[in-house]
Amino acid sequence: MTRIVFLDRSTIGPSVTLSKPSFPHEWIDYDRTRPDQVVDRLTGADIAVCNKVPIRRDSIERLPGLKMICIPATGYDAFDIEACRERGIVVSNIRGYAVHTVPEHAFALIFALRRNLVGFRQDVINGNWQKAAQFCFFTHPIHDLADSTLGIFGEGALGQGVARIGQALGMRILFAAHKGVSGLGPLYTPFDEVLETADVISLHCPLMPATRNMIAAPEFAKMKKKPLLINCARGGLVNEADLVDALDKGQISGAGFDCLTTEPPAPDNPMLKVLDRPNVIVTPHVAWASDEAMQTLWDQLILNIDNFHAGKPSNRIV
């Protein structure tokens, strides 16, 4: 009987109806798994379901019976893809499930920061409105999104979803060319030009060697319009120490992040030092996690497993 082991069940919310594959199988759940527990828990398993627990070459070499890794997410940087390819292990991910939830979360951050909702809310909590001599007060700047410029890094389904919302709001949309790459065609705006002209920058690209620290001190120095910087993609795309420095220097007007380089964040993460600022919002990697999106994700994951068992793997990375 096929043995399926889910290494980090707690990464799927309690609202999801967890259907199971249609064929006879043994299913084992672990809420969390440390890296040093991977081999022990996957010994004898045919299929590993794993969201963020790293499965590297040294583990793969000690798991001769492993035939598939099924990822309940789109990103796969936690897994040694080349080692899986060498071993003939099928790796499947989830696609297209977050086309509404991530763009909506990105714009929730954009609206909150562009209109300074956090700062004004705190002012009311602090009693400033009650003490005001008139019906309103102006302690924070407020800017419209209409007629502003939205620079999007990443032209996939999520970037396109953000673009559609931006267009509906009357924003000018720029898709940034890949850093250091030219000749991508007229649909792309040069990387540096987007940095220089955007009022809002939103990141929706994968984390890979070419994109790690894609935005750091040199890039912040080019941001002439002091944009908002939004990251609902992957921690590691932005150098976080340089981000805090850019906030201190006024090179950007605010930051809305749903992901950090290490998750959960280490105590020395520089972003933790600026959480009380009204122009900084950090959410705990939940942009993907609407109830509707998580259910779609799970249904697709089970379909991937069923298709693999039927000899027709779907959503293959390897």
- 197-246 pLDDT, tens per residue? 999 999 999 998 999 999 999 999 999 999 999 999 999 999 999 999 99
Percentage of the chain lying above the pLDDT 90 cut: 96
Average pLDDT over residues 91-95: 97
In this structure, are residues 208 and 239 in contact, taking their beta carbons and an 8 Å threshold?
A: no
Burial 104-132 (b: 16+ CB within 10 A, else e): bbbbbbbebbbbbbbbbeebeeeeeeeee
- What is the identity of the amino acid at 45? A
Mean pLDDT computed over every residue of the chain: 96
Q: Of 312, 287, 306, give the one whose Cα is nearest residue 73.
A: 287
Fold of 2-93+291-309: Rossmann fold (3.40.50)
Q: Specify the long-range contacts of residues 141-148, CB closer than 8 Å, at least 24 apart.
A: 141/116, 142/114, 142/115, 142/116, 143/114, 143/115, 143/199, 144/114, 145/110, 145/111, 145/114, 145/169, 145/170, 145/171, 145/200, 146/170, 146/171, 147/171, 147/172, 148/172, 148/199, 148/200
pLDDT at residue 60, rounded to an integer: 98
pLDDT at residue 255, rounded to an integer: 98
| Catalytic residue status for 263 | yes
Burial 140-169 (b: 16+ CB within 10 A, else e): eeeeebeebbbbbbbbebbbbbbbebbeeb
| Catalytic residue status for 234 | yes
101-278 — its CATH code? 3.40.50.720
User: Per-residue confidence at 32, pLDDT binned at 50, 70, 90?
Assistant: very high
Q: What does the pLDDT look like over 264-289, one tens digit per residue?
A: 999 999 999 999 999 999 999 999 99
User: Per-residue confidence at 180, pLDDT binned at 50, 70, 90?
Assistant: confident
- Is residue 181 scored above 90 in pLDDT? no
pLDDT at residue 182, rounded to an integer: 76
Catalytic pick from 105, 234, 240, 309?
Answer: 234
Q: Is the pTM of this model over 0.85?
A: yes
pLDDT at residue 214, rounded to an integer: 97
pLDDT at residue 86, rounded to an integer: 97
pLDDT at residue 184, rounded to an integer: 75
| Catalytic residue status for 114 | no
């990103």: which residue's tokens?
A: 75
Average pLDDT over residues 181-198: 90
Average pLDDT over residues 3-30: 97
Q: How far apart are CA 149 and CA 166, in angstroms?
A: 9
Average pLDDT over residues 120-129: 97
Q: Is the backbone peptide bond immediately before 264 cis, with ω within 30 degrees of 0?
A: yes
Catalytic pick from 105, 114, 204, 285?
Answer: 285
Q: What does the pLDDT look like over 289-309, one tens digit per residue?
A: 999 999 999 999 999 999 999
Catalytic pick from 26, 82, 86, 263?
Answer: 263
CATH 3.40.50.720 region(s) of the chain? Answer: 2-93+291-309, 101-278
Alpha helices in the chain (DSSP H): 38-42, 57-60, 81-87, 101-114, 117-125, 128-131, 157-168, 191-197, 217-220, 240-249, 291-309
What is the distance, to the nearest Å, from the Cα of residue 111 to the centroid of all Cα atoms in its chain?
18
Residues in the chain: 318
